[in-house]
């Protein structure tokens, strides 16, 4: 149900984000898995454009919040305001920009702890609490956050608890030469007239999520592979001496749940009703890279989380 429409959605977004096919696929997988995504990359690599294109293709308004050091929680969640009227006035809740189907949090690591706390409740509980009252967020609710990996001044590193709430950590890299040439030509043509994206109704996404949950099966072999991968991050020395020197803190069961969800979404998007080990391997990096805390020795040697995940996939075999 909805497979063709979701494939059209992916194609529509990919048509405006040249040279970033993997980024587009991961965004669609996060959307199908009912999870949030963190996009990390240098300025000018179309992170914001990707989110805008997705919202446009979904036919919904993009709610954007530019995080800054002076931001307040009420700037995100909304606040209670007093409205006067002939009967004497009353208090009412004025909704903030978090009340949207697709919410872009630009430069998420620039806001202080109180703002991050308010955002964390929204991401995890799908609600906000203001003035002692709880307000449910719309469905579907999809947070896409961006951050610059090299910016240090005026930033606040995200706490591990909040990073763990992102289903996927998507890395956005430089396009190749041919893709960059196509980008120049595409933007030049858009200066004349920007073609509208074909909208896919939000209820198609909701139906697709139900289809993923109902129709895609995971064998016990794949389930045990998922658990073995995540378990290896907690006792890496027992699996591989190199990993033992690189991983300080491993991933929680939330990582296993994320691998299961995203692997099922990937299988469904490929037109299959079963998950393979290749599905798990294909999405292991964006699921695990932000959930591992590397040891000092690994950081000193310039080892990245992606290299650790790649080694993990080498040494953990599929049982049976």
For residue 252, what is the domain's CATH number?
A: 1.10.8.80
Q: Is the pLDDT of residue 256 over 90?
A: yes
Q: Is residue 87 part of a domain?
A: yes
* Whether residues 111 and 10 fall in one domain: yes
Domain that includes residue 306, residue range: 216-315
Question: How high is the pLDDT of residue 154?
Answer: 66
pLDDT tens figures, 157-181? 788 888 888 999 999 999 899 999 9
Q: Is residue 304 part of a domain?
A: yes
CA distances from 160 to 157, 235, 242, 294, 312 (A): 9, 19, 24, 12, 21
Q: Is the pLDDT of residue 37 over 70?
A: yes
Query: How many CB atoms are closer than 10 A to CB 276?
Result: 19
Q: Whole-angstrom Cα distance, residue 292 to residue 224?
A: 20
Question: How high is the pLDDT of residue 186?
Answer: 87
Question: How high is the pLDDT of residue 18?
Answer: 87
Mean pLDDT of 202-225: 94
Contact 210, 266 (CB under 8 A): no
Q: Is residue 36 part of a domain?
A: yes
* DSSP-assigned states of every residue in 5-74: HHHHHHHHHHTTSTT-HHHHHHHHHHHHTT-EEEEE--TTSSHHHHHHHHHHHTT--EEEEE--TT--TH
Q: Whole-angstrom Cα distance, residue 52 to residue 194?
A: 14
Question: How high is the pLDDT of residue 314?
Answer: 94
Q: Is the pLDDT of residue 240 over 60?
A: yes
Q: Is residue 320 part of a domain?
A: no
Beta strand extents in the chain (DSSP E only): 36-40, 62-66, 78-83, 90-95, 102-106, 127-130, 133-136, 142-147, 166-171, 247-249, 293-294
Question: How high is the pLDDT of residue 157?
Answer: 79
pLDDT tens figures, 262-302? 999 999 999 999 999 999 999 999 999 999 999 998 999 98
Question: pLDDT-based confidence at 44, cuts 50/70/90?
Answer: confident
Q: Is residue 208 part of a domain?
A: no
Q: Is residue 24 part of a domain?
A: yes
Whats the size of the chain, residue-wise?
A: 320
* Whether residues 23 and 74 fall in one domain: yes
pLDDT tens figures, 175-198? 899 999 998 988 888 877 766 666
* Whether residues 151 and 254 fall in one domain: no
Q: What distance lies between CA 51 and its chain's CA centroid?
A: 11
Mean pLDDT of 205-216: 93
Mean pLDDT of 234-245: 91
Q: Is the pLDDT of residue 151 over 80?
A: no
The CATH number of the domain holding residue 133 is 3.40.50.300
* Whether residues 158 and 225 fall in one domain: no
Q: Is residue 209 part of a domain?
A: no
* Whether residues 35 and 69 fall in one domain: yes
* Whether residues 120 and 52 fall in one domain: yes
* Whether residues 233 and 108 fall in one domain: no
Q: Is the pLDDT of residue 103 over 70?
A: yes
Contact 206, 140 (CB under 8 A): yes
Question: How high is the pLDDT of residue 276?
Answer: 96
Mean pLDDT of 70-84: 86
Question: pLDDT-based confidence at 230, cuts 50/70/90?
Answer: very high
Which residues make Cβ contacts (< 8 Å) with residue 32, sequence separation at least 6? Answer: 6, 205, 208, 209, 212, 265, 268, 269
* Whether residues 199 and 251 fall in one domain: no
Q: Is the pLDDT of residue 128 over 70?
A: yes
Mean pLDDT of 38-53: 90
Which residues make Cβ contacts (< 8 Å) with residue 112, sequence separation at least 6? Answer: 69, 71, 156
Helix axes 47-57, 3-14, angle to 10 degrees: 140
Q: Is the pLDDT of residue 150 over 80?
A: no
Mean pLDDT score of the chain: 89
| Domain final position from 178, 203, 228 | 203
Q: Is the pLDDT of residue 104 over 90?
A: yes
Q: Whole-angstrom Cα distance, residue 214 to residue 220?
A: 17
Of the candidates 187, 303, 180, 191, the one whose C-alpha atom is nearest the C-alpha of residue 246 is 303
Domain total in the chain: 2
Question: How high is the pLDDT of residue 320?
Answer: 62
* Whether residues 186 and 260 fall in one domain: no
Q: Is the pLDDT of residue 43 over 60?
A: yes
* Whether residues 132 and 26 fall in one domain: yes
Q: In 3-state terms, what secondary structure has residue 106? A: strand
* Whether residues 39 and 68 fall in one domain: yes
| Domain final position from 168, 203, 238 | 203
| Domain final position from 173, 203, 233 | 203
* Whether residues 272 and 190 fall in one domain: no
Q: Is residue 211 part of a domain?
A: no
């Amino acid at each position: 149900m909805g497979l063709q429409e979701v494939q059209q959605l992916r194609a529509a977004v990919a048509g405006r984000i040249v040279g970033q096919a993997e980024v587009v696929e991961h965004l669609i997988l996060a959307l199908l898995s009912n999870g949030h995504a963190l996009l990390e990359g240098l300025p000018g690599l179309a992170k914001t454009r990707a989110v805008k294109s997705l919202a446009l293709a979904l036919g919904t308004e993009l709610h954007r919040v530019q995080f800054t050091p002076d931001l307040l929680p009420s700037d995100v969640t909304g606040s209670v305001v007093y409205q006067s009227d002939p009967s004497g006035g009353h208090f009412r809740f004025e909704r903030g920009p978090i009340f949207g189907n697709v919410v872009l949090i630009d430069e998420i690591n620039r806001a202080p702890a109180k703002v991050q706390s308010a955002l964390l409740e929204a991401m995890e509980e799908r609600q906000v609490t203001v003035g002692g009252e709880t307000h449910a967020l719309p469905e579907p609710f999809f947070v896409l956050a961006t951050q610059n990996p090299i910016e240090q001044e005026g930033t606040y590193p995200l706490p591990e608890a909040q990073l763990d709430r992102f289903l996927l950590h998507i890395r956005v890299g430089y396009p190749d030469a041919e893709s960059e040439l196509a980008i120049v030509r595409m933007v030049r043509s858009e200066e004349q007239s920007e073609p509208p994206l074909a909208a896919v109704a939000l209820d198609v996404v909701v139906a697709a999520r139900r289809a993923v949950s109902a129709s895609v099966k995971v064998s016990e072999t794949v389930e045990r592979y998922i658990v073995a991968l995540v378990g290896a991050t907690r006792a890496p020395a027992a699996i591989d001496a190199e990993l033992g020197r690189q991983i300080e803190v491993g991933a929680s069961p939330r990582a296993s749940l994320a691998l299961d969800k995203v692997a099922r979404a990937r299988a469904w998007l490929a037109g299959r009703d079963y998950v393979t080990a290749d599905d798990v391997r294909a999405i292991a990096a964006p699921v695990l890279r932000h959930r591992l805390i590397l040891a000092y020795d690994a950081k000193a040697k310039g080892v990245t989380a992606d290299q650790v995940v790649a080694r993990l996939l080498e040494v953990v075999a599929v049982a049976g």
